């Protein structure tokens, strides 16, 4: 599908040196990743609402149940592949002198597409973290550990659950990059989850050109300099052509 991209955006893209990209669930949904926010069977897990089984309170109350849920989610993700948007964003990192990819997604598809140094605001389902010493454990190539290899305490999913704060310093780093960028893309996010949704406003206030790519308008659309309506996998590869 051919999309309409303004001459101004093409010029900004060609001249940009500092670029920040914020991605959300819409990008991953195009690869088949359930958003777990819609209706139907994706909204509950064994009768437990998504925002309950994925909460900090449930972690404290029933860690095995939380792990069962996240083990299931990793099973769903294992066979999925990045889509053209993931791959094109990965190519951008070598195009610009200063490039920052910030994602709200926890599925690891950006890394699978080749993106490096991804700023993961909400963590990653392919990692476990010790509940005491916070040591991380990569589960992308190995099984989930029964206990922390370092101190022997229990491990939890390295994901920000409902009711929890973002990892220390992660948003601050992203906000600093937003304040320094001259071009900001907001791709596949509903722009309602804060503090992530505040990054485009930081970029805009600092003078950056802000472009939104989404199938439908969002609360962020009125702030953006350009809004391209469409799927990320169809639109993103055409930007910069």
Residues taking part in catalysis: 122
Q: Is 78 helix (H, G, I), strand (E, B) or coil?
A: coil
Q: Is 211 helix (H, G, I), strand (E, B) or coil?
A: strand
Q: Is 150 helix (H, G, I), strand (E, B) or coil?
A: coil
Look at residues 203, 173, 169, 170 and name the one whose alpha carbon lies nearest to residue 186: 203
Per the CB < 8 A criterion, the answer to whether 170 and 119 are in contact is: yes
Per the CB < 8 A criterion, the answer to whether 106 and 70 are in contact is: no
Q: CA–CA separation, 89 vs 74, rounded Å?
A: 23
> Residue 103: beta bridge partners?
23, 120
């Amino acid at each position: 599908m051919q999309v309409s991209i303004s001459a101004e955006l093409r010029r900004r893209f060609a001249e940009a040196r500092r670029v920040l990209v914020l991605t959300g669930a819409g990008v991953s949904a195009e690869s088949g990743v359930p958003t777990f926010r819609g209706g139907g069977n994706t909204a509950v897990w064994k009768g437990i609402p998504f925002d309950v089984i994925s909460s900090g309170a449930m972690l404290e109350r029933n860690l095995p149940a939380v792990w069962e849920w996240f083990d299931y989610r990793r099973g769903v993700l294992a066979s999925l592949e990045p889509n053209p948007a993931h791959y094109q964003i990965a190519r951008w990192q070598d195009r610009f002198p200063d490039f920052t990819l910030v994602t709200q997604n926890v599925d690891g598809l950006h890394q699978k597409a080749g993106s490096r140094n991804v700023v993961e605001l909400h963590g990653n389902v392919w990692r476990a973290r010790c509940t005491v010493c916070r040591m991380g454990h990569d589960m992308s190539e190995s099984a989930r550990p029964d206990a922390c290899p370092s101190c022997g305490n229990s491990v939890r999913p390295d994901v920000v659950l409902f009711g929890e704060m973002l990892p220390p310093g992660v948003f601050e780093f992203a906000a600093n990059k937003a304040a320094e960028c001259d071009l900001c893309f907001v791709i596949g996010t509903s722009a309602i989850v804060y503090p992530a949704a505040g990054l485009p406003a930081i970029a805009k206030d600092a003078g950056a050109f802000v472009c939104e790519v989404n199938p439908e308008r969002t609360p962020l659309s009125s702030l953006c300099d350009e809004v391209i309506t469409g799927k990320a996998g169809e639109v993103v590869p055409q930007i910069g052509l």
